[in-house]
Amino acid sequence: MAKVVRAIRGMNDILPEESFHWEFFEQIIRKWLAIYGYRNIRTPIVEQTDLFVRSIGEVTDIVEKEMYTFVDHLNNDSLTLRPEGTASCVRAVVEHNLLYASPQRLYYSGPMFRHERPQKGRYRQFHQVGVEALGFVGPDIDAELIIMCARLWQMLGITGLRLEIGTLGNAESRALHRARLIKYFMQYEEMLDEDSRRRLHTNPLRILDSKNPKLQEIINSAPKLIDDLDEESRAHFETLQQILRNRGIDYEINLRLVRGLDYYNRTVFEWVTDRLGAQGTVCAGGRYDGLIEQIGGKSAPACGFAMGVERLLALMLECGEDVSRPTPDVYIVHQGETVIDFAWKTAEFLRNEGFKAILHCGGGSFKSQMKKADASGARYALIIGDDEVLAQQVTIKPLRENSNQACVELNAVVDIIK
């Protein structure tokens, strides 16, 4: 036998037993985005590597070790499978000058790729729904993004998520803070681990994100960005909180919220759950006012977030949302050479009426066809034999309840199924 080819580690097939959960989720997502006026943008899943290096930042885990980068040998271009959607979205907005006339509320969804160590809730191909509001200075739009998330959790039946918000200030306050952090951590250089020492001068903010238990005490006493915050950013953060409080959204302030991407300034936020083990962040984002200019556009403010679909789906099911498996309305069982034409006609007639009809294919005895009808989950079996064709009627047999079968005309089938 030929050797079996398997999927790549950390990249999952989503089989029919599971995919109906995805379809349920996607329907809700579409409705949710529509009621907030967000429009869909679709970009390629491969981009020039440089786009991600410049936007996500050279000294980040994603760019340093998680990107699927390869050379297109046909023209020697360095290409990368997108590890996230913001960079591509901003690239497209700049390339097509979408901010020319007005700000944009956009969303995208689809697979993203990061070469991380796979575990529950963490995959190498995973899916995001991302929302980006471009051209708004905020903080009202920051609040809108957070508030719309809160509504989505309700629509998905998800409870118990914690909202953490923080602020990173503007470029100057971050530069000031950075300098203070370097000075502070230099005092403990001997005690830092290799990763943190390497980041000391390139990206000291990321040291704050270290999970190394030996460093937690040093990290806890490190200078806090809030003390270096510029006045405008402070006011921005205050107003955001005011709106959230007025709208009844609970939040915790987390001034250590660092995020794994470098493009953020001012507002950052994460929605977190304790119910999924280690990978508890289901949705995260923030403001990135410098990114559009950084990748060649005319300076414009922007803010957005992305959620991990696998994690949210797991949480939705964990919270008890009962997604019903899609089943056909009828399964058409037929036998006899003269019958097939009437069986096709019946199936198409019912589909025209909007019903889900499965026409048995592949022949077989009456008994085996009835078994398949039952296994399909259909509510009714329609039985067509020579007698039915003669009478131009079908026999309808309920499969899920104890009532008798009846021989009726096609129009009557519609009434019964309804």
Residue closer to ligand HAM, measured from CB, 131 or 357:
131
- C-beta of 306: minimal distance to ligand HAM in Å? 4
Residue closer to ligand HAM, measured from CB, 84 or 388:
84
- C-beta of 279: minimal distance to ligand HAM in Å? 7
Per CB under 6 A, the list member of 33, 133, 284, 358 interacting with ligand HAM is 284
283 binds ligand HAM (CB under 6 A): yes
Residue closer to ligand HAM, measured from CB, 239 or 281:
281
Per CB under 6 A, the list member of 142, 262, 289, 310 interacting with ligand HAM is 310
- C-beta of 66: minimal distance to ligand HAM in Å? 8
Per CB under 6 A, the list member of 141, 229, 282, 359 interacting with ligand HAM is 282
Count Cα atoms within 13 angstroms, Cβ side, for 80: 26
166 binds ligand HAM (CB under 6 A): no
Report CA torsion sign: 187, 191, 197, 202: negative
Residue written as token pair 């000291």:
204
Stretch that binds ligand HAM, among 26-34, 84-92, 185-193, 197-205 (CB under 6 A): 84-92
What gap in Å lies between CA 386 and CA 407, rounded to an integer? Answer: 13
Per CB under 6 A, the list member of 130, 139, 290, 301 interacting with ligand HAM is 130
285 binds ligand HAM (CB under 6 A): yes
Return the HEC string of the chain.
Answer: CCCCCCCCCCCCCCCHHHHHHHHHHHHHHHHHHHHCCCEECCCCCEEEHHHHHHHHCCCCHHHHHHCCEEEECCCCEEEEECCCCHHHHHHHHHHCCCCCCCCEEEEEEEEEECCCCCECCECCEEEEEEEEEECCCCCHHHHHHHHHHHHHHHHCCCCCCEEEEEECCCHHHHHHHHHHHHHHHHCCHHHCCHHHHHHCCCCHHHHHHCCCHHHHHHHHCCCCHHHHCCHHHHHHHHHHHHHHHHCCCCCEECCCCCCCCCCCEEEEEEEECCCCCCCCEEEEEEECCCHHHHCCCCCCCEEEEEEEHHHHHHHHHHCCCCCCCCCCCEEEEECCCCCHHHHHHHHHHHHHCCCCEEECCCCCCHHHHHHHHHHCCCCEEEEECHHHHHHCCEEEEECCCCCCCEEECHHHHHHHHC
- C-beta of 155: minimal distance to ligand HAM in Å? 18
Stretch that binds ligand HAM, among 36-44, 82-90, 166-174, 220-228 (CB under 6 A): 82-90
Stretch that binds ligand HAM, among 68-76, 179-187, 282-290, 320-328 (CB under 6 A): 282-290
Stretch that binds ligand HAM, among 127-135, 180-188, 222-230, 379-387 (CB under 6 A): 127-135
Stretch that binds ligand HAM, among 78-86, 94-102, 166-174, 222-230 (CB under 6 A): 78-86
* Interacting residues with ligand HAM between 85 and 114 (CB under 6 A): 85-86, 114
Residue closer to ligand HAM, measured from CB, 308 or 385:
308
How distant, in Å, are the alpha carbons of 48, 101, 124, 145, 192 from that of 94?
Answer: 15, 13, 28, 22, 41
What gap in Å lies between CA 329 and CA 237, rounded to an integer? Answer: 53
308 binds ligand HAM (CB under 6 A): yes
Per CB under 6 A, the list member of 142, 304, 342, 370 interacting with ligand HAM is 304
- C-beta of 382: minimal distance to ligand HAM in Å? 44
| Token couple for 213 | 């238990």
Residue nearest to ligand HAM (CB): 308
> Number of residues in contact with ligand HAM, rule: CB under 6 A?
27
Residues 56-75, one symbol each (x = binds ligand HAM by CB under 6 A, - = not), give --------------------
Measure the N-to-C terminal CA separation of the chain; round to a whole number of Å. 50
Residue closer to ligand HAM, measured from CB, 282 or 413:
282
* Interacting residues with ligand HAM between 260 and 279 (CB under 6 A): 260-261
Residue closer to ligand HAM, measured from CB, 124 or 397:
124
The one-letter amino acid at 404: N
Residue closer to ligand HAM, measured from CB, 310 or 388:
310
Structural contact between residues 272 and 252, judged by C-beta atoms closer than 8 angstroms: no
Per CB under 6 A, the list member of 91, 177, 206, 311 interacting with ligand HAM is 311
- Which residues here bind ligand HAM, judged by CB under 6 A? 84-86, 114, 116, 122-123, 126, 128, 130, 132, 260-261, 281-286, 288, 304-308, 310-311
